[in-house]
Chain A
Amino acid sequence: MTRSRLLPLAGFALTAVALFAVAPAVLSDFRLSLLARYLCFAIVAVGIALAWGRGGMLTLGQGLFFGLGGYAMAMHLKLADAGPDGLPDFMLLYGTGGELPWWWEPFRSPVFALAAVLVLPMTLAALIGFLVFRRRVRGAYFAILSQALAAAFALLLIGQQATTGGTNGLTNFQGFFGFALADPLNKRMVYFVIAAALLAVLLITRQLFHSRYGELLVAVRDSEERVRFLGYDPALVKLAAYTVSAGMAGLAGALFVPAVGIISPALIGIVPSIQFVIGAAIGGRASLAGAALGAIAVAWAQTTLSEEFPAAWTYFQAGLFIAVIAFLPGGLASLRHHLTRRRTRATRPRPPTGTPAAEGAPA
């Protein structure tokens, strides 16, 4: 096995050990639940690494898909808490006339809800992507559109307070598929589910990166027209990456709900949507480990530093973000690459100047 194949495998094993053995043993219940929250952001970041890092689609609206997954899960948990024929508590408060809206009804079924967590965001992303990529809307146009969609979704949720909980969102969940969420042991279980999901997402994305499809995706990013002239349909290639990344965001949103206990418009609007991108950008947009670790680190720094020094943290975060994007577009993950390249350039003797073609030319 070559070094290039061994290294990611070792990294993956190391991550698995850290997530499943070290973290639960070292961290308190509170810290572990915080980590669970960061891991959800990491799942979103992996999707962004796929769509943006490899596919060149700067998606500033992952909050939309995160929210769809989150609300699908939250609606089911609310209905399960209320029992058969019961209404979620907030609906009694705002008064929907004692009726459950029709679009809430299917979420009583756990199977439907779990399927919706992936199917809803992916279907919507496929629809948006189909409409947008087919007409070659891209670059900044796509970024702005995706951001506007996330903003509109948040606004829509706020506006429909009686059926969506409005600004407060959905919160106060008692159980998670029969397990009481108040029990710390079950909280740990949720953490393990999230860690497993992150590992699965990392594996899938790595396979995608190294498949022929992954090569094609990078080709589309770097020169869409050339790929088109070679006979491929760039719209379909981009569509697939965008849809998969939406599915990941949906999954993350769904897992976020039992881990943190709330989903609300404030967690999915413009600002959180860009926060998702910040983590991936600082860590390294095209690198799986970079994006995931970046998301975790930024989320961790956000909770620890912003509580103590809110103003200084904003300056620091914005400054770091600007510096990385402007001067190190590959993110911190590319630092190693920059360093090793510099070293090899310094030590290796310069290649001979005369090229074979020149030497072979008739004198």
Chain B
Amino acid sequence: MTVLIGQSFTGISIGAVLLLIALGLSLTFGQMGVINMAHGEFIMSGAYTTYVLQQHLTDAGTSLLLALPAAFAVAGTLGIVLERTLIRRLYTRPLDTLLVTWGVSLLLQQLARDIFGAPNVQTSTPGWLTGRITLFGGEHPVTLSHARLFILTLAVAAVVALTLTLRLTPLGRRIRAVVQHRELAEASGIATARVDRTTFFIGSGLAGVAGVALTLVGPIGPTMGTNIIIDAFLVVVVGGIGRLRGAVVAAFALGVLQALVEYSTTVSLAKVTVLIAIVAFLQWRPQGISTVRTRSLA
């Protein structure tokens, strides 16, 4: 029993990482129907921002905290540049956007390789994140490392901040209007192009924050984006577009499923099982867990 609980906690911490990397994606995909394959490289930019800050500041704690806003700005700026130069031109061709942004991700990977070198780099974890807390003692103790707890907190904070922004601010109201009905929003006087740009900034910025979090659990390298982007997309596919709630549920569900299957088999088998579960789930709900209801046929 405690083993199951332990694996569930592992699953929740996997889910927190998934949620962080998928949150921005869900936002941009939901609003613009645009799949941004360079999202993984935006995450990478956040991770490298943390690395650079730590090189200059040396103190791991302050540099990590400073990296959060810095990475948000760096990745967000990259996002705006991408939106202005390429994605804006391709709104009517979503599949081509997917391919173009994949080309961009290739460029960014090579750029990272040229600047920071091909081998992975490491950041040091600040002292206050190195310990573990014990949830249950006994024969199979259930522990949670501080770093994982930090990521969980960060994920929850990001969701809360985003929800509040969407619910309470004028910007959030405009974003929701565009998600629900683009033409009508435009007809009501909302500058949809400007809203798109802002959404893209926020979505990409969240990728940067996710990158900061990832430095705590793994190495930083030019190809780190490729490995996580698919998981992030699966969260979005299962969660459904246009609503944060779906992404949250999907991230934790996939995380826990992954952890539970992983415990009884292997990591690779767990990945395959999760994927089969996703295809089966889409039989039941092709639009994902929650979605904005429209009357369109698509």
Contacts and interface: CB of A to CB of B under 8 A. Distances in A.
Same complex for A and B? Answer yes
Interface of A: 56, 58, 128, 131-132, 135-137, 139-141, 143-145, 147-149, 151-153, 155-156, 158-160, 225, 270-271, 274, 277, 281, 311, 314-315, 317-319, 321-322, 325-326, 329
Contact of B103 (A153, A159, A311, A318): A318
A-B pairs, top 8 by smallest CB distance, nearest first, are A159-B268, A318-B106, A322-B103, A135-B286, A314-B110, A321-B103, A155-B268, A144-B233
Contact of B226 (A56, A139, A270, A322): A270
B167 to A, nearest CB: 27
Given A131-B283, A326-B86, A311 B110 contact: yes
Contacts of A144: 35, 230, 233-234, 237
A326 B89 contact: yes
A301 to B, nearest CB: 14
A311 B279 contact: no
B143 to A, nearest CB: 26
B271 A132 contact: no
A159 B269 contact: yes
A128 B107 contact: no
A195 B102 CA distance: 31
A159 B89 contact: no
Given A140-B35, A144-B234, A156 B98 contact: no
B169 interface: no
B272 A152 contact: yes
Contacts of A317: 106
B93 interface: yes
A318 B109 CA distance: 11
Contact of A321 (B99, B114, B272): B99
Interface of B: 29, 33, 35, 86, 89-90, 93-96, 98-100, 102-104, 106-107, 109-110, 113-114, 226, 230, 233-234, 237, 266-269, 271-272, 275, 278-279, 282-283, 286, 297-298
Given A148-B234, A155-B268, A139 B99 contact: no
Contact of B106 (A153, A281, A314): A314
A318 B107 contact: yes
A311 B226 contact: no
B267 A148 contact: no
B98 A58 contact: yes
A135 B103 contact: no
Nearest to B33: A140
Given A159-B266, A225-B297, A281-B99, A141 B107 contact: no
A325 B96 contact: yes
